Amino acid sequence: MEIKLKHVGYTYSLNSPLEFTALQDINLAFPTGKFTAVVGKTGSGKSTLIKLLNGLELPTTGEVTVGDQVITNRTKAKQLKQVRKNVGMVFQFPENQLFAETVLKDVMFGPLNFGKSENEAKELAEKWLAEVGIQASLFEQSPFELSGGQMRRVALAGVLACEPEVLVLDEPSAGLDPAGNQNLMQLLKKLQTERGMTIIMVTHSMENVAEFADQVLVMKNGKVIADETPRELFSDSQSLVELPEASQFYLKLMKSRQFNNELPITKNELIKTLVKQFGQKGDQYE
């Protein structure tokens, strides 16, 4: 399901002394089945942008198209139900929104709310809890007895159980350790590649962008200043963002951007490049 923004602007507290324009004339598309990362400094408008994607906020100007539904500032709340079902939203620290007595009941809440029967909701909850790696033995426990990483997975299962076609996440890795981050990112990649979901993720991690995203949007002062592949973004010598650690390491080692191969952007690419480069040099001296 494609999401398109045409001339979208968003102003907080319109016509009040606190009026603040957070987004200006945004034109872009989130292609179906792709993994898009949204990056930019604090306050650049990333969270505001993603709140427009499921009608949580309505654009002040312009239009947001989700599949065949057009959202403008005149769209009524009841017209947004289908959009909310199609576009699942995972906020920062989603575990803070867990509330039910058991893990299973928490995940069933969404599907019940979208009109599924008790049995259908239970089946969906069990399926998606398994998919995010929560064992059946935890289903009847209180979600508040789980570890932080498990709680986040339960919260994600709660959104996935509504079977959205698009998943939008605001800094899903915040507060996770490197292993927790890697597990979560691999799960998102699997949802994209095996289930064809469209993933849109706000992140500050350029390593995650390099490793997992197909497309990256860079935001600055309420505008999108780049919309390209991670490789294009990081390879540009005038790069608009901080480079991933692998690229930084390689550039320090080479002391310039004058080299024949592509700039490595992930750890795996860095290792391969170094083995190829220094392996070959070593061979010359044998």
Ligand X SMILES: Nc1ncnc2c1ncn2[C@@H]1O[C@H](COP(=O)(O)OP(=O)(O)OP(=O)(O)O)[C@@H](O)[C@H]1O
- Site residues (CB under 6 A) for ligand X? 12-13, 20, 22, 40, 42-48
The secondary element (H helix, E strand) that includes residue 20 is strand 20-30
Closest approach, Cβ 281 to ligand X, in A, equals: 43
Q: Which of 146, 219 has the CB closer to ligand X?
A: 219
Cα distance between residue 145 and residue 151, in whole Å: 9
- Phi-psi bin for 128: left (phi > 0), alpha (psi -120 to 50), beta? alpha
For residues 164 and 200, is the Cβ–Cβ distance under 8 A? no
Q: To the nearest 10°, the Cα dihedral for 244, 245, 248, 253? A: -150
The Cα 27–Cα 4 span in angstroms is: 8
For ligand X, give the closer residue by CB, 89 or 121.
89
Beta carbon nearer to ligand X, 41 or 195: 41
Are residues 209 and 203 in contact, defined by beta-carbon separation less than 8 angstroms?
A: yes
Please state the closest distance from residue 222 (CB atom) to ligand X, in A: 7
Nearer to ligand X by Cβ, of 27 and 92: the residue is 92
* Shortest reach from residue 202's CB to ligand X, in Å: 7
In the DSSP assignment, the letter for residue 94 is: G
Q: Minimum CB separation from ligand X for residue 38, in Å?
A: 8
Q: Rounded to the nearest whole angstrom, what is the least distance from the CB of residue 102 to ligand X in the complex? A: 32
Cβ closest to ligand X, residue 48 vs residue 181: 48
